[in-house]
Amino acid sequence: MRKRIKIWFHSGSTSAIRELSIHRAVFAFCLVLCMAVLSGIGYVGYDYYRLKTISFDNARLNSQIQSRDGEIHSQRNQIQTFAREIEVLKSEVRKLSEFEDKVRLIADIRKTDDTGGLIGIGGIPTTELDEEMPREVKHNGLIREMHQQMGQMSLVTENQAKDFEDLIQILEEKKNLLASTPSIRPVSGYVTSKFGYRISPFTGQKEFHSGIDISNRSGTKIVATAKGKVTYASRKRLIGNLITIDHGFGRVTKYGHCKKILVKKGQKVKRGDVIATVGKSGRTTGPHLHYEVRINGAPENPLKYILN
């Protein structure tokens, strides 16, 4: 058995034939080496292609995830903005309800049932906006809460509209009562002492304050808060220059510590008529108006009878 392998090379018809003699073991080694190299190249090529495919898929998935995250973030911002707008709307409805209650108090009108006015409505749960909560759960929860809030707000506004319609009709029937009911500020300025129990600035003891004190510069105009008849216009001990107006229907207002009285006893006045100026007559720490509202002889909080 031959131990060598001969290979002949012939490049053309006129060229000489070349002979290459290789040992059989060397030839086998070279053949195995070539096959190994080709296999390695094939494996590396396949692995490179597989990695490129995975890399492309990852890039595509990352792009989709980023796009989805952007959409979810945008939706979450829109929902949060919507939630804040709902809170503002609820605040406005509450103010309307409070205004309605004040008008009803002034006009002595009670609601016919408990279904009208502002019903209890909750806010957007802060847990729904928790960044750690799964996106789908959070998103679905917010959408569900939005629908509930809108349904409640719709019911509130319907009830509020009905209440105002009923209120307007009753107010038309009570024009005289309204004209005789205190409903405006008697003077501009700051409320420095509220209605109710307080510590006396003179004795340091707890006492009941039957009105409110409104501080302003001396000489500021004081107006009647409703139409009526002046029943007192003179000086009175500690309260100084005092005006008392009987508005009828059991409603009376008092204006104390005035600097100058501009009306006389028995004079009829209308809401907004100037009746005096701010002063510091009587026992006082400075220029201000002491203002009282009495209903059937009992002192009431004047702030409940101020709409403007």
Query: Which pLDDT belongs to residue 203?
Result: 86
How buried is residue 47: exposed, middle or buried, by Cβ count under 10 Å (0-12/13-18/19+)?
exposed
Cα–Cα distance, 245 to 195 (Å, whole number): 19
Query: Which pLDDT belongs to residue 295?
Result: 94
User: Please, what are the averages of pLDDT over each run of 10 residues along the chain (308 residues)?
Assistant: 65 67 75 84 82 82 80 76 77 78 70 49 48 59 71 74 74 78 94 93 90 96 96 94 96 97 96 96 94 96 90
Query: Which pLDDT belongs to residue 137?
Result: 59
Cα–Cα distance, 240 to 279 (Å, whole number): 9
Query: Which pLDDT belongs to residue 93?
Result: 77
Q: Which of 260-267's residues contact partners 24+ apart within 8 Å by CB, and which partners?
A: 260/219, 261/233, 261/234, 263/230, 263/233, 264/230, 264/233, 265/230, 265/231, 265/232, 265/233, 265/234, 266/229, 266/230, 266/231, 267/229, 267/230, 267/233
Radius of gyration for the alpha carbons in the chain, expressed in angstroms and rounded:
46
pTM above 0.95, yes or no: no
**CATH dotted code for 190-305:** 2.70.70.10
Straight-line distance from the first to the last Cα atom of the chain, in angstroms, rounded to the nearest whole number: 124
Cα–Cα distance, 281 to 289 (Å, whole number): 10
Query: Which pLDDT belongs to residue 108?
Result: 66
How buried is residue 65: exposed, middle or buried, by Cβ count under 10 Å (0-12/13-18/19+)?
exposed
Q: Which of 199-205's residues contact partners 24+ apart within 8 Å by CB, and which partners?
A: 201/285, 202/283
Give the 3-state secondary structure of residue 195.
coil
Query: Which pLDDT belongs to residue 117?
Result: 45
